[in-house]
A and B are shown apart, each in its own frame.
Chain A
Amino acid sequence: MSKYQVNDKGYYGPFGGAYIPEMLYPNVEELQAQYLKIMEDSSFKEEFEQLLKDYVGRPSPLYPAKRLSERYGANIFLKREDLNHTGAHKINNTIGQILLAERLGKKRIIAETGAGQHGVATATVCALKGLECVVYMGEIDIQRQAPNVARMKMMGATVVAAQSGSKTLKDATNEALRDWINNPVDTHYIIGSVVGPHPYPDMVARFQSIISAETKKQLLEKTGRETPDIVMACVGGGSNAAGMFYHFLDDEDVKIIAVEAAGHGVNSGESAATTALGQEGVLHGSRSILMQTEDGQVIEPYSISAGLDYPGIGPQHAWLFKSGRGEYVSATDDEAMQAGLLLTQLEGIIPAIESSHALAHLEKMSFKGDETVVICLSGRGDKDLDNYMKYFNL
């Protein structure tokens, strides 16, 4: 058993667990007991793989970014999750979880969403399977992300405004948990990131691990080696990073770099750089690292990227950070926006602002010239055009 994977008690080192009220215990216990059995079942695997191929469009390309490589003096590959159906890596997880929910006999799906990418990915698979779908979204995010709200509605989902607290992702997650408490029997909660009570962080990481599984094969074909020198990804809750790192965790020769959102600067008071600013604590069902006051109240994060605007990180990331296995760094709004523009101009790819954070770290690295670097391009920038337009006065 890898020391970086979850143990039989649901922990990654000191992080993880299932810190949930008793009302959620039967649901979570059912998942804990069933998720591996279901995922390892051959009919599940077959359907999952088929849908990833025919519906999502996998495998996603591993693109050797020539001009970006020249610019930085390294062999940079982009894992093109942005080319997936619905525009991001999120669909890998929602496909997996909808198949799981079906096998658990659930009739109703709930989800939380920030910018709307996970909400859209959930509404998509619910349409695909004909299941009722309710997506909780902060009232403020509903206003900021009108096109994604429209997409969800077109697919038949009900979008419910979370009106508590700061009316953003954290509060949407609270509302989804409340819904699950009130509907314990027929409802499955599709969490969008590697957060939440055990087994969610492990389950979501397993569904996203297709990213690194494909990367290994593709790298072997392209370079003759299965492993890169460095893998990089952005981290909000951390699901694309968890998938990008998954099959490289035990190979200590592979350097792992996770890039958090520093907003206006780590110490500006407007940031989402959890590992830099947070302490150990419990949020949304697991023990991890989160941004909080001395009294244990959760602090509202800030980032220009709605997908990274979360005050915690998944428990596996907390463990990779604390154990020193991963290097956790951050990029500001400005650094990310410039990196997004640079990729657009060098490679003709408009990245999601989330993914731009990972790209931004290249500026701060120095290379000998022959290193192989894989960056997870977790999503496409269509949803961010408004932001890019405002930022660059386009």
Chain B
Amino acid sequence: MQLNKHTNGLLSIYFTAGYPTLDSTVTIAKALEDAGVDFLEIGFPYSDPVADGPTIQHASEEALKNGMTLKVLFEQLKDLRKHVTIPVFLMGYVNPVLQFGVENFCKACKEVGVNGTIIPDLPMYEYEELYKGTFEENGISNIFLVTPQTSEERIRKIDALSTSFIYLLSSNAITGKNLEVKDQSEAYFKRIKDMDLQNPFIIGFGIHDKNTFSKATTYANGAIVGTAFVKLLAEENYLEKIPEFIGSFK
């Protein structure tokens, strides 16, 4: 799979590492690839996830109870590339990364074959000033978020700093709020598309069914499903249900 501005209709899935069980991480990743998902975000849990709604908060809490840490996650991902070939991004909050050490974190990502990271509470200024060099040395792309309120000037700056894709939030909201496809959000998606950015942009937050996925991918190169998939993981025999779930988006 090529993540570039000419690819379209990409489906990406977010799930929390260590949920529903500590060792479910790689099994779920492989099942998602087999079901035809184009790339993955694997969340590493944090005790205070301020940008997340109840579903992902709950998954994080459970994952922490199960014993998930960054150390455990990188151990689990050692053989990731034996099982999974699609791009993988790690997503989580900055404090666990700081405690792990930013340099150790980037090196570990590189070693296990993680392509990039999404760290919503690591601001662009701090990334540029303190950490950009370390990320680049290890070939790790850091993904930045854009919201309906982000100014054009800032989007241009984000585009210049990005090396993989731009994560476009469907609305200014925490995760798990279903996107209502209104003229307003379509106008926003179109505005971004018309900016003709150098990076592909992928829409996330609120994408939960075929309708929202198809609206998003009318404008964006792809869309990310998080909360809706994490809800599936709470069901019995979730692994068997993954192909049908993924099939329902396309």
Contacts and interface: CB of A to CB of B under 8 A. Distances in A.
A164 interface: yes
Given A178-B50, A182-B177, A21 B99 contact: no
Contact of A283 (B95, B126, B144): B95
A295 B70 contact: yes
B96 interface: yes
B173 A181 contact: yes
B197 interface: no
B57 interface: yes
B122 interface: yes
Interface in A144-190: 164-165, 170-171, 174, 177-178, 181-182, 184-185
Contacts of A346: none
A108 to B, nearest CB: 15
B150 A25 contact: yes
Contact of B99 (A174, A284, A285, A296): A296
A165 B61 contact: yes
Contact of B147 (A19, A22, A177): A22
Interface in A6-22: 9, 17-22
A19 B177 CA distance: 23
A19 B173 CA distance: 17
Contacts of A297: 46-47, 64, 96
B120 A21 contact: yes
Nearest to A27: B149
Query: Which of under 10, 10 to 19, 20 to 34, or 35 or more describes the interface residues of B?
Result: 35 or more
Interface in B122-148: 122-123, 125-126, 144-147
Given A178-B50, A181-B172, A22 B97 contact: no
Interface string A276-316: 00011111110000001011111000000000000000000
A20 B144 CA distance: 12
B66 to A, nearest CB: 13
Contact of A181 (B48, B50, B94, B95): B50
Contacts of A178: 50-51, 53, 174
* A-B interface, 4 closest residue pairs, ranked by CB to CB distance from nearest: A296-B99, A296-B96, A22-B145, A295-B69
30 contacts: A9-B125, A17-B125, A19-B94, A19-B121, A19-B126, A21-B120, A21-B145, A22-B120, A22-B169, A23-B145, A23-B147, A23-B172, A23-B174, A25-B123, A26-B147, A26-B151, A164-B54, A164-B57, A165-B48, A174-B50, A177-B50, A182-B177, A281-B95, A285-B121, A294-B69, A295-B70, A295-B96, A295-B99, A296-B46, A297-B47
Given A170-B48, A171-B48, A297-B64, 9 more contacts: A17-B126, A19-B123, A20-B121, A22-B145, A164-B57, A178-B51, A178-B53, A181-B173, A296-B98
